[in-house]
Structure 1
């Protein structure tokens, strides 16, 4: 069954919600939906108290190392970490308390060409059971193309059942943001959800566009309970008005174990 997984998105050391695709190295700053007054550890402790397992901490750019480590220390083994992960530093994040490391951009040479050698190196560094491969993507017609560098650069890899089959041996889970709808609170990418839900090889978490509780129910229905889901900007915990955090906690508690 579909479960809610929490997120802690970090930008410049603070917990934020940002519209997908607006975070760039140059030009105007990102469009921010929310900036928290609480620390990253406050959110980690809350998720721990409510037994929300499998959540992720994502570092959006530099300046987030201390906040990330603070969150992991607040719940050792309870959160995954992404942002700047590569084979050389992955073990240090596991030692800092992450259950898994999440990786996207480093898996692509020149941020565009997928490298099988790199995904094997990462799995070799920490074990495939500790790896989450992030295949966050942009829609191009009837295809979804993996995007790197904060979703700005399109790669040579498409999100398909065959791609998931090929990569499954190198990871424990997949995380997939629908970048075109991320942070807009305008509804999920139903076609992508259905595609991902049709594949049953590993745990997959979908993120992007959830505007209300009905969207979570739609993910559950379209994927036949095969996908977990993250809710960001619509969540009242992050200043949103579409989804109540308490409703999501209650939803998870109603789901059967296993």
Structure 2
């Protein structure tokens, strides 16, 4: 068993972008650091992932103005992509009906930044555990990690640890964890977090944040024993990156091995 490459489509103001996670604020403005803005619509990436049968990918709506773009991606591959960003009990069923394989939820579970187990139970009962992903994107604090909500701006009262993951796993089928401190920086994954997620979680986990080379897939696979999957964003050539070739990620998923032709820098 080896870790898999999981694709993503990050949407901001209706466009596919790659953003440095720690710079995303409600006001955006001068603080926002964008690594890449695509000339292609979201459906282009959804069709690409469908062509290569890259399951478990996620569409993330970073703020308002992304609903139509997300629906275009889902329509291009019904049942092939997860969707997150602003998911609540009021709209989750609509997103499943629009073609999402699963809905991804974070902020709605934390009214006033306090975790609500009742809200999680309600949403799980509505869409079914098998259609629910809990996003535990987090920041480092006091020697551990704390879940961050509202586009990673606001810390909640939930620490990411074994007790947390075991409790939440009863109501969802997967976790998505962005390491917000390294998201978009292409300076390497948070290896300690990857190892702890593999140790603590009883269900599959997809980790995102900091992946800078194809070897990071091997590293995550080694650190997690294949239990944690990896999303690569800004480093990927289809998002303007120069460090990781999309075709090599596709090949890795099939074989779990680095190809002889794989290089650290794309010419």
- TM-score scaled by length of structure 2: 0.94
> Is there any run of 5+ residues in structure 2 with no aligned partner, and where?
258-267
Aligned to 2:261: none
Alpha-carbon spacing, 1:58–1:34, altered in 2? closer, same or farther (3 Å): same
CA distance in 1, matches of 2:229, 2:4: 5
What is the CA-CA distance between 1:168 and the residue it aligns to? 0.5
Q: Secondary structure at the match of 1:125?
A: helix
Aligned to 2:202: 201
Q: Secondary structure at the match of 2:200?
A: coil
CA distance in 2, matches of 1:79, 1:200: 22
What is the CA-CA distance between 1:199 and the residue it aligns to? 2.8
CA distance in 2, matches of 1:141, 1:188: 19
Count of aligned positions: 255
What is the CA-CA distance between 1:27 and the residue it aligns to? 5.4
Aligned to 1:43: 45
What is the CA-CA distance between 1:214 and the residue it aligns to? 1.3
Aligned to 1:136: 137
Q: Secondary structure at the match of 1:170?
A: coil
Q: Secondary structure at the match of 1:147?
A: strand
Aligned to 1:226: 227
CA distance in 1, matches of 2:222, 2:89: 37
Aligned to 2:78: 76
Aligned to 2:164: 163
Alpha-carbon spacing, 1:27–1:204, altered in 2? closer, same or farther (3 Å): closer
- TM-score scaled by length of structure 1: 0.97
> Is there any run of 5+ residues in structure 1 with no aligned partner, and where?
none
CA distance in 2, matches of 1:249, 1:138: 29
Is the contact between residue 165 and residue 201 of structure 2 (CA under 8 Å) also seen in structure 1? no
CA distance in 1, matches of 2:38, 2:160: 33
Q: CA RMSD in A?
A: 1.1
CA distance in 1, matches of 2:97, 2:150: 26
CA distance in 2, matches of 1:5, 1:190: 17
CA distance in 2, matches of 1:104, 1:27: 20
CA distance in 2, matches of 1:226, 1:126: 25
What is the CA-CA distance between 1:26 and the residue it aligns to? 2.2
CA distance in 2, matches of 1:210, 1:47: 19
CA distance in 1, matches of 2:167, 2:76: 35
Aligned to 2:184: 183
CA distance in 2, matches of 1:163, 1:28: 35
What is the CA-CA distance between 1:255 and the residue it aligns to? 4.4
Cα deviation per residue 1:67-92 (whole Å; 9 max; x = unaligned)?
Answer: 10000000000000000100110000
| Aligned with 2:111 (options 109, 112, 137) | 109
Cα deviation per residue 1:1-27 (whole Å; 9 max; x = unaligned)?
Answer: 200010000000000000012111125
Q: Secondary structure at the match of 1:154?
A: strand
CA distance in 2, matches of 1:74, 1:128: 24
